[in-house]
């Protein structure tokens, strides 16, 4: 193990040298990659040095114990050794967690897409509830939310809504939200009091930066048209809505929420970049892609990762068998327990794989 830790320390020293190299500083993409790796390794290297210090102190304590003849001093050395061995175990446990390969996307901002699946208007209303839930969570965490595009119904729900979330560790905390979310409740439009089941799909896309992906203008087809709102009424009388088609992949993005065609185009390009970036990341890391594809389905009730049962005030995450009877708080953005449980489960699986 010490040999492996030495290699990590050496790599950290290399990065420290490279990060101050003027030639590397000229290459923005290369410099950014090195700076990120350096930042990721800093906490690990700090723990490695702590581990080595304790390991050295244990060797000194054992040597002293072997050579000591005084009974009282020998007892003191044994107590000290016991404490050091306990500290070493804790440090080793911390190292095992830190040595789990980090997802390089965890620090990125995201674009989240919520779409109503089975359930008609009730699914659209629940899509709006989920948007509010994530917006409230963002308020608690001091993240910024910006709507990119939406398709609203008269009742106040969304057939679909795309929005960005920016702040600290957004993707790392919200990547587990990708999938089909099922809701069980009595719709406000239901006079008979019967519980209905509806489904909504959520997709979480890491937002691409300019250095992450390059899109050629000749690969884009841009159409403009007049935007419309719920019920089809005209929102404005100018051609401000934008539809962008990425010709090589066939990916289509539309945006009509802003009155300015320029602003709509800029937002549509951000969504397009996020979709293409995610597709490229999926190509590089097929395991992550497979996991996401298994979670994000067509909106059918059977393809669910989570159930929100309002009559029972219950939330169940089926991936980790987590059940909480505090749905009223969670739907208002108090999601910390859900997020931390998912992250803990992910770490435990990674530890098993590393072992």
* Mean pLDDT in residue range 15-27: 89
Q: By percentage, how much of the chain surpasses pLDDT 90?
A: 43
**12 and 137 part of one domain:** no
**138 and 197 part of one domain:** yes
**261 and 241 part of one domain:** yes
* Model confidence at 321: pLDDT above 80: yes
Beta strands in the chain, from DSSP E residues, in sequence order: 110-116, 144-152, 158-166, 179-185, 196-206, 220-225, 241-246, 251-255, 306-309, 314-317, 322-324
pLDDT digits (tens, 9 = 90+) for 205-216: 998 877 677 888
Answer whether residue 105 is part of any domain: no
Structural domain that includes position 183:
110-211+288-352
* Model confidence at 7: pLDDT above 70: yes
**301 and 240 part of one domain:** no
Per-residue pLDDT, 3:
80
Tokens of 120: 């008609």
Which CATH number fits the domain that encloses residue 11? 1.20.58
Last residue of a domain, one of 228, 258, 282: 282
**300 and 271 part of one domain:** no
**24 and 70 part of one domain:** yes
Last residue of a domain, one of 98, 133, 164: 98
Which CATH number fits the domain that encloses residue 295? 3.30.70.1660
Last residue of a domain, one of 98, 132, 152: 98
Tell me the sheet residues that pair with 116.
Answer: 200
- Mean pLDDT, rounded, of the chain: 85
Per-residue pLDDT, 258:
82
**19 and 63 part of one domain:** yes
Where does residue 274 rank: exposed (0-12), middle (13-18), buried (19+ CB within 10 A)?
buried
* Model confidence at 276: pLDDT above 60: yes
**204 and 235 part of one domain:** no
pLDDT digits (tens, 9 = 90+) for 197-254: 999 999 999 988 776 778 888 888 998 887 765 544 445 556 788 999 999 889 999 8
**276 and 292 part of one domain:** no
**296 and 274 part of one domain:** no
**17 and 146 part of one domain:** no
**238 and 323 part of one domain:** no
Per-residue pLDDT, 302:
43
Answer whether residue 184 is part of any domain: yes
Determine the Cα–Cα distance for residues 83 and 67; give it in Å rounded to an integer: 19
* Model confidence at 317: pLDDT above 90: yes
Answer whether residue 84 is part of any domain: yes
Residues near 30 by beta carbon (within 8 Å), at least 6 away in sequence: 24
* Mean pLDDT in residue range 71-80: 85
Report the domain count for the chain: 3
Answer whether residue 309 is part of any domain: yes
Buried/exposed code over 308-342 (b: 16+ C-beta within 10 A; e: otherwise):
bbbeeebbbbeebeeeeeebeebbebebeebbebb
Enter the pTM of the model.
Answer: 0.72
Answer whether residue 103 is part of any domain: no
Determine the Cα–Cα distance for residues 75 and 109; give it in Å rounded to an integer: 55
């Amino acid at each position: 193990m010490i040999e492996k830790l030495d290699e990590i320390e050496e790599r950290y020293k290399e990065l420290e040298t490279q990060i101050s190299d003027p030639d590397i500083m000229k290459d923005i993409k290369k410099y950014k990659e090195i700076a990120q790796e350096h930042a990721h390794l800093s906490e690990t290297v700090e723990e490695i040095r702590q581990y080595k210090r304790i390991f050295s102190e244990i060797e000194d304590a054992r040597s002293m114990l072997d050579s000591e003849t005084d009974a009282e001093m020998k007892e003191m050395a044994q107590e000290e050794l016991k404490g050091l061995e306990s500290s070493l175990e804790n440090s080793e446990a911390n190292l095992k967690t830190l040595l789990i390969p980090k997802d390089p996307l965890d620090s990125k901002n995201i674009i989240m897409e919520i779409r109503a699946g089975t359930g008609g208007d009730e699914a659209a209303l629940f899509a709006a509830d989920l948007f509010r839930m994530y917006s409230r969570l963002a308020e608690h965490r001091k993240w910024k939310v910006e709507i990119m595009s939406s398709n609203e119904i008269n009742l106040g729900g969304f057939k679909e809504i795309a929005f960005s979330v920016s702040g600290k560790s957004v993707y790392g905390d919200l990547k587990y939200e990708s999938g089909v979310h099922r809701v069980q409740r009595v719709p406000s439009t239901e006079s008979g009091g019967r519980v209905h089941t509806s489904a909504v799909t959520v997709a979480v896309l890491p937002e691409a930066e300019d250095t992450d992906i390059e899109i050629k203008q000749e690969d884009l087809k841009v159409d403009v048209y007049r935007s419309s709102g719920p019920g089809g009424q005209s929102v404005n009388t100018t051609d401000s809505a934008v539809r962008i088609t990425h010709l090589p992949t066939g990916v289509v993005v539309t945006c009509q929420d802003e009155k300015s065609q320029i602003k709509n185009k800029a937002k549509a390009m951000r969504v397009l970049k996020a979709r293409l970036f995610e597709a490229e990341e999926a190509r590089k890391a097929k395991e992550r892609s497979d996991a996401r594809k298994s979670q994000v389905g067509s909106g059918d009730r059977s393809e669910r990762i989570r159930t929100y049962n309002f009559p029972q005030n219950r939330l169940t995450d089926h991936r980790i068998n987590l059940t909480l009877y505090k749905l009223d708080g969670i739907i208002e953005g108090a999601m910390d327990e859900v997020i931390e449980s998912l992250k803990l489960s992910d770490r435990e699986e990674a530890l098993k794989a590393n072992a």
